[in-house]
Amino acid sequence: MKTLQELTRPNIWKLKPYSSARDEYKGIAASVFLDANENPYNTPNNRYPDPLQWDLKKALGKLKGVAPENIFLGNGSDEAIDLMFRAFCEPCRDNVVAIEPTYGMYQVCAEINEVEYRKVLLDEHFHLSVDKLLEAADGHTKLVFLCSPNNPTGNDLDPAEIERLLLNFDGLVVLDEAYNDFSDAPSFLKRLDEFPNLVVLQTFSKAWGCAAIRLGMAFASADIIGILTKIKYPYNVNQLTQQQAMEMLHRYYEIERWVDMLKEERNRMEKEFARLPCVKKVFPSNANFFLVKVTDAVKIYNYLVGEGIIVRNRHTVTLCGNCLRITVGTKMENETLLEALRKYGV
Ligand SMILES: *Cc1c(COP(=O)(O)O)cnc(C)c1O
């Protein structure tokens, strides 16, 4: 691996971050706060939130088996993805490599930041080739993006291959585990100490049932987390979000129950879909959604819209011709979809 200084944009490496009032005061307990130009009325929302979300990181770290210094929290995983570009990729000079097809935000962030985005096709079973990823990389490749289970294909990537990439790529590997809760494959979080170039992304938006609060997590070495923390907006995670996340941590048993139900429903839906005349192939999934190849994706998508049911049309995505991506819902929602498709015919 290159040194972190070699990987970081020189302006970011040199940057002295903005220091907020709440950053500078870290002393003993005080009761009079006249340092941040806040309004003394309308408690508790009159106060700026903890810029480093320390209580939340400690509680989350306990659950995840990670030290708080190894955690970055952002306004969705999307913030962490964007900050990876802004921290490490020099516009118009550096590049990133990613599997294709995958989550669309990596490419959008690359384009916003004017960073070349190199796509490496998965094979027809949606398996990755580490050799091809490494071939696509050069001296200016700062990041490789992997997503496991992958969106929109639903499959886990081979952990042995992920490990081979981590050992052989000299930049950072961003492994997006947004859907890992739904997979039986162990998270790479447990192996953070083994791989100094690993950045694991997770989110409150899927298994945690908290898409509305916008909270994403990045896990990496304390040095990498330090760089992301240095360039984030000072109060990037608002107080209401921090509170709701804390509450969810106390109700973790519910998340486990939801995940079990959704996995069971996913398996049932995959079997039911295989029996539908308009379905040509069901791709095996380790996530809370699955991809299906149908007779005519555009026609079926429009038919379902007419029935008041929205699925994701992935027809125009590489390797996903005539494919729909189906999110697993409640048993009743799933039945409504199945009934509509039975009625549709071929
Ligand atoms: C849904 C999803 C996310 C979550 O993004 P948030 O900004 O945290 O809501 C991240 N990565 C992938 C691959 C996703 O599908």
pLDDT band, residue 305 (cuts 50/70/90):
very high
Question: Is 88 within 8 Å of 119 (Cβ atoms)?
Answer: no
CB atoms within 10 A of CB 171: 22
What one-letter code names the amino acid at 198?
L
Question: Which atom of ligand 1 lies at the shortest distance from residue 205's CA?
Answer: 9
SS (H, E, C) 101-126: CCCCHHHHHHHHCCCEEEEEECCCCC
Residue 101 Cα to ligand 1 midpoint, Å, equals 15
pLDDT band, residue 293 (cuts 50/70/90):
very high
**Ligand 1 near 74 CB (within 6 A):** no
What one-letter code names the amino acid at 147?
C
**Ligand 1 near 225 CB (within 6 A):** no
Phi-psi region of 345 (alpha: psi -120 to 50; beta: other; left: phi over 0): left
Residue 175 Cα to ligand 1 midpoint, Å, equals 12
pLDDT band, residue 342 (cuts 50/70/90):
very high
- Minimal CA–CA distance to 130: which of 144, 116, 141? 144
Question: Which atom of ligand 1 lies at the shortest distance from residue 206's CA?
Answer: 1
Q: What is the pLDDT of residues 45-61, one digit of tens each?
A: 999 999 999 999 999 99
Tokens standing for 65?
Answer: 């088996």
Residue 64 phi/psi, 5-degree rounding, is: -90, -10
Q: What is the pLDDT of residues 26-48, one digit of tens each?
A: 767 889 999 999 999 999 999 99
Q: What is the pLDDT of residues 81-135, one digit of tens each?
A: 999 999 999 999 999 999 999 999 999 999 999 999 999 999 999 999 999 999 9
**Ligand 1 near 176 CB (within 6 A):** yes
**Ligand 1 near 77 CB (within 6 A):** yes
Residue nearest (by alpha carbon) to ligand 1 atom 7 = 76
Mean pLDDT of 310-319: 98
- Residues facing residue 117 across a β-bridge: 96
Tokens standing for 124?
Answer: 């027809």
Residue 23 has what pLDDT?
A: 79
Residue 184 Cα to ligand 1 midpoint, Å, equals 19
The CA-CA-CA angle for residues 16, 236, 146, to 5°, reads: 90
> Which of 81, 106, 151, 156 to mutate to test ligand 1, by most ligand atoms within 8 A of the CB atom?
151
Residue 55 Cα to ligand 1 midpoint, Å, equals 24
Question: Which atom of ligand 1 lies at the shortest distance from residue 147's CA?
Answer: 13
Residue nearest (by alpha carbon) to ligand 1 atom 15 = 151
Residue 24 has what pLDDT?
A: 79
**Ligand 1 near 180 CB (within 6 A):** no
Residue nearest (by alpha carbon) to ligand 1 atom 5 = 77
